Amino acid sequence: MGYPMLVLEPIKLKVKQSVVNDFKTLAKKAYPKEAFSVLLGHDCGTLIEVVDLYTPENIDRHTTKYGFDIKPEWWFYAYEKAKEEDLTIVGDIHSHCFDLVESKGPIKLEPTPSELDLIDGLLHISGICLITQGPTGKLRSRIRMWGPQVRVDTEIVK
């Protein structure tokens, strides 16, 4: 007997280079705190295009090295900006920051969602920008985008 599975089609994601550059700049400026922006673009089903960012004002008041407190009004303001530009909200992006000591640890750091990022699942496109400090103090950045992921509630039974 087969197992019922949710079958999803692959998503093609196109991101403007300026969006990547702008977020990397924002994330390096925010270091050692995390940075956060809402991704704006076009959602055409299996093709999603990211063409702009909405970054909340005074976001540094709501971020730490280990996370940020998303304010509900950020989504409203992002929606308003998207509407003005004839775009839609297609996801969000944030940074994970590591200093020199953390960067030299035994685990290879990757721009991946943390357990906290995954608690509720990723219901849209989610970008992670990894910011690491090199031996000279220079900050390095890499971005990876992740598609929607549903949370799996697991129960281990006898």
For 69-125, how does the pLDDT look when each residue is reduced to its tens digit (9 = 90+)? 888 999 999 999 999 999 999 999 999 998 887 777 666 788 888 878 777 666 789
In this prediction, residue 33 carries a pLDDT of 94
Residue 145 is predicted with a pLDDT of 95
Domain assignments of the chain as residue spans, ordered by start: 12-146
The pTM (predicted TM-score) of the whole model is 0.87
Q: What confidence tens digit (pLDDT) does each residue in 30-83 have?
A: 999 999 999 999 999 889 999 999 999 988 888 888 888 888 999 999 999 999
**Does residue 134 carry a pLDDT above 90?**
no
135: preceding bond cis by omega (within 30 degrees): no
CATH number assigned to the domain covering 12-146: 3.40.140.10
